Structure 1
Amino acid sequence: MQTITNGLQTVLDAITGAAAEYPMLGIWYTTVIRFVLPVLALLILLTVIRSLLTVPHIPETWAYISLPNGERVPLTHWENLIGRAKNNDVILSYPSISRTHAAINRNDKGEWTLYDLDSTGGTTVNGYTVDGDAILEEGDVVSFGGVETVFLPLTVSEKRSQRQLRAEETRPVSPWGLLVLLTMFQVFTAIQLIVSMGEKATVNIPLVFLGLTATMWIYCLTFRAMRRVGFEMELIAFFLCTLGLSVTASTNPDDLLKIFLTMLGGLFGFMILCFILRNLENAQKIRWVMAAGAIGMLAITLVAGTGAYGAKLWLKLGPISIQPSEIAKICYIFAGAATLDRLFKKRNLTLFIVLTGMCGGCLALMNDFGTALIFFVTFLVIAFMRSGDWATLALICSGCGIGGMMLLKLKAHVAARFAVWGHAWEHASDSGFQQVRTMSASASGGLIGVGAGNGWLKGIFAADTDLVYGMLCEEFGFIIAFLAILCIITLAVFSVRACRAGRSSFYTIAACAASSMMVVQTCLNVFGAVDLLPLTGVTFPFVSNGGSAMLSAWGLLAFLKATDTRQNASFAVKLPSRKQIKQEDEIDNYTDYTEDYNDYMEDDYEED
C-alpha cells in the first residue's frame, strides 16, 4: 500500500509542479477537458440507457395449464392468478369460474402450490376439494369451478430451447468498451481536480479514483467469470459515484477517503442483499426482522440521536456518525414487499400500515420531514400494488394532507421553508440564500461547466448534499447534470418494464418501491435546490456527500437488480448449475435418440 501511495504522490507532485511552472498548461487542460467529459458521459450513458430500455424482457415459461380444448396456457411467473377477470395471468372465460378464482405458486425448489381464493365454484385436485392450499404434481387434474385442466411441466427440450432463445434475444450490451470510457472519465476528472486545487491537492484524490477504477474492473471481471453478462445498472452507479467523489473532493477533501470506503461498503452490502434476494423463501423469512430493524433504528435515533435545528438525524458511534433513517429505507421496502399468497391476507396489509405509521411517527418526531415524505410516497406505491384500491389510497392521502397542514401550523421552520418556496429571489439574503446561489451557479456552468474543482458554490453550506445538483451544473455543466438525473429515471423505467416479466410479486413490489423512492428523492433534491419545490434536505442517490446515503443507494439498487430476469444478466437471479445443464442435455439427447430409433423401427416395419 505504501508503494502505491508513494507512486501516486510522485504523479501528484509531477502534475502540480507542471501546472505551477506552466500555468497556461493547466488552463488549456481545463478548457479541453470541459468538452471531453460531456462527450465521454454521453457515449457511456446513452449506450447503457439504450441497452436497459430497448432489450426485450421475454417472459419465462415455468409450466403449463392444459385446457379442455387442448390449448396449453403458459405460467410465466412464479405466482399466477387464475380467473375470469382480464387482469389475471391465466384467463378462463367460463361462467362457473370466479373473477379471481385461484393462484398457482412456485417456490425456489421448483415445487408448486395451488391456492383457492374463496372462489364460488370451488377448486379440486384429482377430485379432492382444495381447502386453502394443495401441492401440485406433474399431470394433476385441476378443476376450477367444474372446468377440468391438467397441470403440465416443461420438458427438458423446452427448457433448453427457452434458455437459448432468451440468451440470444435479451443479451445486454458488452461492458468492456464502456469500462474503458468510464476509466478515461475518472482519470481525466482526477487530473482536473489536481490541476484546480494546485498545492492543496492531496494524494487521496488519485488514490481514491484509482481505487474506484480498480473496484469496478474487479467487480465486472469477477461476475463475468460467473457467467453474468448484465452490468448496466452497476455502470450507472459507478458513474454517479465518480461524480459524487469529485463533488466531495471539491468541497470537503478530508471526507474523500471516508466516502470511498462507504462506497465499498455499499457495494459489498449490495452484493450481500442480492444473494439474499436470490432465495425467495429466505427473503420472506427475514421480512419482519427488517421491519423490527426499521422501527428500532428510528426509535433509537429519536431517543439518543444528535442533530441541528431541532432535527435528530444522526447516531454517534465513537468517531463514526450514521444516519439510521437512510438504512431504514431498505428495511422498510423489505418488510413491505410480499408474495402473492400473502397479498390476499388482510392481516399482512394491516401490519404494514401499522409499520408505516410507526416509522412516519418517528420521523415526524425527529423533524426529518423530507425522509418522512419519501416514506409516504413509497407507502402509497406498495399499498396500491398490494391492494389496487384507489379509494383507500385517496382516503389516506386526504388524511395525510390534513395532517401536513396541521404540521405547518406547529413547526415554524417547516412553515418557513414553504413560505419561501417559489419566492427565493425575494429572500436572496435570508431564507432563500441557498436556492438563489444554487440557481446562479447552475446558470454560470452552462452546458459544459467550469471544470471540476473550479466552482464557487462549494463555499455555500450543504453544497455537496442538499445543493449538489447546483454543483454538478456549475462544475460539470448541464449536460452531465441532466444525464445524472436521466440515470435515476432510467433505472426506474427499467424496473417497471422488467416487472412485467418478473418472477414474483415480492420482487415486483420491492423494485417499484425502491425505484419510486430513488425518483422521489432525486426530484426533491433537484427541484428543492432550484426553488421548484421546498428545500427538504434529502440527498441525490450516489452523488451527495454522505456515508449513510451511499449505503442506502446501493441497497436500493439491489432490489432493482433482482428484477433483471434477462438470461444470465443478474447475479441476483439464480442460474441452473453447469451440472444441471449437462444432465438436462444428456436427457434431451437420450430422448432425441429414442425418438429417432422409434421412427426408424416404424419405417422399417412399414417396409417389411
Structure 2
Amino acid sequence: MVNLIVELSKYLNIVLIAMYTYLAFRVLGYTDKKRQERTYVKMKAILFTFHFICYLILFISTKNLKIAFLYGMQLLAIILVFTLYQWVYINLSKPILHNMLFLLTIGYVMLTRLSYDKAVKQFVIASVSLIICLVIPLLIDKLKALSHLGWLYGGSGIVLLATVLFLGVENYGATNWIKIAGFTFQPSEFVKILFVFSIASLLAKKTNFKHIVYITILAAIHVLILVLEKDLGGALIFFVTYLIMLFVATSQPLYLFSGLAAGSVASFFAYKLFSHVRVRVAAWRDPWSLIDREGYQVSQSLFAIGTGGWFGMGLLKGLPTSIPVVDSDFIFSAISEEMGGFFAFCLILILISCFLMFINIAMKLKDTFYKLIALGISVMYAFQVFLSIGGVIKFIPSTGVTLPLISYGGSSILSSLIMFSVIQGLYVLSQDRNDAIEKRKRKSKKQTENATQ
C-alpha cells in the first residue's frame, strides 16, 4: 500500500509543480488585481498541498513522529511568513514571496529525506533568517543616505575575505570557512552582498576611465583573495557580476570584451596553477574513465539523474546518498532522481522566473544606485544557479556552488534570503514612489478642476 501511495504521489507532485510553474509565469501578465489575487490563492494552495503530500510520504514510509512534528512547525512558519510579510508590506511583490517560499519548501522536503538533523538545522536557520529579513525592505529607503560609502563596503568585504585567507579552515579543497565556538560559516556568502553595494555605489558616482580603474582594482582584489582561498566558484560569481554591472553602468562593449578576455587568461593560469582545478576539469571531460577516483561524484550524479528519468523514483526510493555532498552542491541530482526530470525542469523554470522578476524590477528603477544593486543581485543569483545546476549535469566543471534557497547551508540560506529581501525592498520602494506620484497627479488634477470652476 505504501509503495502504491508513493508511486501515485510522484505523478501528483509533477502535476502540482507544473501548475505552479504555469501560474508563476501567467500571473505576471495579469493587470486585473482580482484575477491576480485569485492566482496567488491557487499558488499558495499548490504550495501547501505539495508540502503536505511530501511529508505524508516521508512519515508513512519511516513511521517517524519527528517528521510529523517538523512538518507542523514548517507549516506554521510558512503561514506566519505569508501573513507577516503581506501585513507589513502592502506593496510587496507577491510572485517573489510565493516563489521564495516554494523553493524553501522543496529544500525542506529534500533535506528531510536526506538527513533529518540537517533538515531541522536548516529550518531553524531559515526561520530566524526570515525574521531578520523582515526588516530589510524597511531599511532600503534609508540606504540612499549610505550610497556614498562604496569604498567602505568594498574595504569591509576585503577585510572579511582576508581574515578567512589567514584564519579559515579548509573544506572540500577550498579554505573559505571560519570556525568559531563550534560553528562554521562562509563569510564570502555575505561579502557577495557587500560587493554588490560597493560596486553599485561607486559606479553610480561617476564612470570616467580613472575611476573605473580604481573600482576594477577593488573588484580584482576580491576575486584574487577568493582564488587564493581556492574558492573558484565564488571568484567566478564575483567576476561575472562586476563585469555585467560595469557594462550596464558604462554602456561600453570594450570593457565587457576586455573583461572576458582577461577572464579567459585567468582561467588558463588557474588550470595550470591549481591541482584541484585540473581534477575537476578531468572529471568533467571524462568522468567514466575516472569513476573510481576523481570522476566518482559527477558519475554518481549522472547515474542518479538518468535513473530518475522523467517521472522519478519517488521519495525514499532512490539512492541519492551515494553522491558525495548531495545535500549541498549536488542536491539537484537528488531532486532529479526521486522527483523526476519533469519536476526538475519545472524547478529550473521557477528559478528563471525569479531572475526575470529581479531584472524587471531593476529596469523599472530610476535611481542609478538602486538600479545597479538590483542588477548586481540578479546577475549574482542567476550565475550561481547556472554554476550549481551546470556542474551537476556535467554542462560545466563542478565549482562547489550551492543552489539558492534549496541546498543545505546556513550561510547560503541566509545570504539568499537577504538578496531576495533586498530585491523585495527595491520593489516596495518603487511601488511606494509610483503611488506617491499618482497621488500628486490626482491632487494636481483636482486643484486644476477646482480653479476652473
TM-score of the pair, normalised by structure 2: 0.90
Post-superposition Cα deviations, 1:344-383, rounded to whole Å, max 9, x if no partner, equal: 4555433321221111111011110111111111111111
**Distance between the aligned counterparts of 1:403 and 1:446, measured in 2?**
38
Percent identity (aligned): 23
Q: Which runs of 5+ in 2 are unaligned?
A: none
**Distance between the aligned counterparts of 1:410 and 1:586, measured in 2?**
66
Q: 1:211 to 1:47 in 2, by over 3 A?
A: same
Higher percent of residues as strand: 1
Contact 2:312 2:336 in 1 (8 A): yes
Is 1:480 paired with 2:350?
Answer: no
Is 1:297 paired with 2:164?
Answer: no
- Name the residue aligned to 2:81: 216
**Distance between the aligned counterparts of 1:199 and 1:440, measured in 2?**
29
Contact 1:369 1:536 in 2 (8 A): yes
Q: 1:35 to 1:219 in 2, by over 3 A?
A: farther
Post-superposition Cα deviations, 1:265-320, rounded to whole Å, max 9, x if no partner, equal: 43244433322223452241454432233112211111111123542121112132
- Name the residue aligned to 2:71: 206
Q: Which runs of 5+ in 1 are unaligned?
A: 1-23, 57-166, 565-569, 597-608
What residue identity is the alignment partner of 2:71? P
- Name the residue aligned to 2:450: 593
**Distance between the aligned counterparts of 1:386 and 1:441, measured in 2?**
43
**Distance between the aligned counterparts of 1:558 and 1:252, measured in 2?**
28
Q: 1:273 to 1:335 in 2, by over 3 A?
A: farther
Q: 1:253 to 1:341 in 2, by over 3 A?
A: closer
Is 1:185 paired with 2:185?
Answer: no
* Aligned mate of 2:20, from 35, 44, 49: 44
Is 1:425 paired with 2:288?
Answer: yes
Is 1:497 paired with 2:360?
Answer: yes
TM-score of the pair, normalised by structure 1: 0.68
What residue identity is the alignment partner of 1:198? K
Is 1:33 paired with 2:33?
Answer: no
* Aligned mate of 1:262, from 101, 125, 132: 125
Q: 1:55 to 1:516 in 2, by over 3 A?
A: farther
Post-superposition Cα deviations, 1:380-434, rounded to whole Å, max 9, x if no partner, equal: 1111112222223322332332222122222111111112223112222221111
Shift of 1:456: 0.7
Contact 1:172 1:230 in 2 (8 A): no
Post-superposition Cα deviations, 1:424-456, rounded to whole Å, max 9, x if no partner, equal: 122222211111111111122222322233321
What residue identity is the alignment partner of 1:210? L
What residue identity is the alignment partner of 1:488? L
**Distance between the aligned counterparts of 1:55 and 1:352, measured in 2?**
41
Q: Number of residue pairs matched?
A: 453
Contact 1:305 1:314 in 2 (8 A): yes
Contact 2:300 2:322 in 1 (8 A): no
Contact 1:55 1:172 in 2 (8 A): no
- Structure number with higher relative contact order (C-alpha < 8 Å, ≥ 6 residues apart): 2
**Distance between the aligned counterparts of 1:335 and 1:34, measured in 2?**
45
The within-5 A match list for 1:69-468 is 174-199=39-64, 202=67, 205-223=70-88, 226-228=89-91, 230-279=93-142, 281-338=144-201, 342-346=205-209, 348-468=211-331
Which is worse superposed, 526-535 or 306-315?
Answer: 306-315
**Distance between the aligned counterparts of 2:260 and 2:439, measured in 1?**
54
Contact 2:10 2:314 in 1 (8 A): yes
**Distance between the aligned counterparts of 2:123 and 2:143, measured in 1?**
31
Q: 1:533 to 1:585 in 2, by over 3 A?
A: closer
**Distance between the aligned counterparts of 1:168 and 1:529, measured in 2?**
40
**Distance between the aligned counterparts of 2:202 and 2:155, measured in 1?**
19
Where 1:337 maps in the other structure, the secondary structure is helix
| Superposed structure 1 runs of 4+ greater than 6 Å apart | 167-173, 580-587
Q: 1:452 to 1:220 in 2, by over 3 A?
A: farther
**Distance between the aligned counterparts of 2:93 and 2:220, measured in 1?**
38
**Distance between the aligned counterparts of 1:586 and 1:275, measured in 2?**
27
Contact 1:465 1:540 in 2 (8 A): yes
What residue identity is the alignment partner of 1:214? I
**Distance between the aligned counterparts of 2:284 and 2:440, measured in 1?**
65
**Distance between the aligned counterparts of 1:511 and 1:317, measured in 2?**
32
**Distance between the aligned counterparts of 1:170 and 1:342, measured in 2?**
42
- Name the residue aligned to 2:432: 574
Q: 1:495 to 1:581 in 2, by over 3 A?
A: closer
Q: 1:183 to 1:571 in 2, by over 3 A?
A: farther
Q: 1:336 to 1:265 in 2, by over 3 A?
A: farther
